[in-house]
């Protein structure tokens, strides 16, 4: 006579959170490799902005005598920062798309941390932003003579700062997306925020060239400080505490937005 002993089986509770983030972010990045048109179309706006301001308005704006030797050196660090707004908006719209096409519903059925879904998207979009900005820098250097006084390392520092700002704004738009959950509303919010932040700042002309009432608004615009810090790094100008202020503000904004994003994402679909 034989007896059998039932051994309790341990319930699988999923991989560790870093592994989940790696797998989910890799999934998003593979989608770009399968259909590179997504990356191409996302680059159209910053490329158009670069061509429009450097070639159409560049000669007229040089009358203001911006620092940097020529307008493209003055403009390009700002383009790096302003591109982060569009990248963050795309992240929010992409998350809403996944929430409506069933991807998020399938992920909810798996033993994974919901916060890892958001973190993976932010990481994948950060990589995409890095590719965008590197292509923009190469285009500006090859076609428009971008060669700032800060040299290679100044440009790298400006690029890193832009990526920090981009990641922070990604979390802002992810938080908005988890509460709004409609692509049309998300796009409206994004465009309403994008143009005032971009144009009421020091991104395209020095603050001294703005009318007094507009200069007041530009001074309180947080994007102005990120643009100034990026520009000073690229042009080898004194940065003061501007870089630390931009990094600290971005970190605080990203952390607060991440909390709201996770709370909104946990709501039923």
**pLDDT band, very low/low/confident/very high, at 4 (cuts 50, 70, 90):** very low
The rounded mean pLDDT for the chain is 84
Using DSSP, state whether 242 is helix, strand or coil: helix
Mean pLDDT (whole number) for 206-224: 86
Q: Give the span between the Cα atoms of 35 and 268, in whole angstroms.
A: 30
State CA 17 to chain mean position distance.
Answer: 23
Per residue in 8-18, pLDDT (tens digit) is 445 545 567 78
For residue 35, the surrounding DSSP H or E stretch is: none
- Domain boundary assignment for the chain: 18-265
- Give which of 32, 66, 26, 73 is closest to 50, Cα–Cα: 73
Q: How many helices (H) and strands (E) does the chain have?
A: 11, 0
Q: pTM of the predicted model, to two decimals?
A: 0.86
Per residue in 229-251, pLDDT (tens digit) is 999 999 988 888 889 989 998 99
Share of the chain above pLDDT 70, in %: 90
Let me know: does 169 contact 84? Beta carbons within 8 Å: yes
- Give which of 188, 177, 130, 176 is closest to 156, Cα–Cα: 130
Q: Give the span between the Cα atoms of 98 and 26, in whole angstroms.
A: 16
Per residue in 130-160, pLDDT (tens digit) is 988 999 999 999 988 899 998 999 999 999 9
In 3-state terms, the chain is what percent helix, strand and coil (to 5)?
75, 0, 25
State CA 7 to chain mean position distance.
Answer: 51
């Amino acid at each position: 006579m034989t007896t059998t002993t039932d051994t309790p089986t341990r319930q699988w509770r999923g991989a560790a959170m870093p592994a989940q983030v790696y797998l989910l972010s890799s999934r998003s990045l593979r989608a770009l490799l399968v259909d590179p048109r997504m990356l191409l179309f996302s680059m159209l706006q910053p490329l158009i902005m670069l061509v429009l301001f450097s070639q159409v308005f560049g000669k007229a704006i040089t009358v203001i005598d911006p620092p940097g030797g020529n307008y493209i050196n003055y403009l390009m660090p700002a383009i790096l920062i302003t591109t982060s707004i569009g990248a963050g908006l795309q992240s929010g719209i992409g998350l809403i798309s996944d929430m409506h096409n069933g991807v998020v519903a399938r992920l909810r059925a798996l033993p994974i941390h919901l916060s890892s879904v958001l973190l993976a998207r932010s990481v994948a979009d950060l990589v995409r932003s890095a590719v965008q900005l590197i292509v923009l820098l190469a285009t500006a250097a090859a076609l428009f003579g971008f060669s700032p006084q800060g040299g290679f390392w100044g440009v790298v520092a400006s690029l890193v700062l832009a990526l920090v700002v981009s990641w922070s704004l990604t979390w802002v738009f992810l938080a908005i997306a988890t509460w709004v959950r409609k692509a049309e509303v998300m796009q409206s919010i994004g465009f309403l925020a994008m143009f005032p932040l971009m144009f009421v700042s020091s991104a395209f002309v020095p603050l001294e060239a703005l009318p007094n009432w507009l200069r007041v608004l530009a001074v309180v615009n947080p994007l102005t400080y990120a643009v100034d810090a990026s520009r000073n790094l690229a042009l080898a100008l004194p940065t003061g505490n501007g870089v630390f202020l931009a990094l600290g503000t971005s970190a605080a904004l990203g952390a607060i937005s991440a909390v709201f994003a996770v709370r909104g994402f946990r709501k039923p679909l």
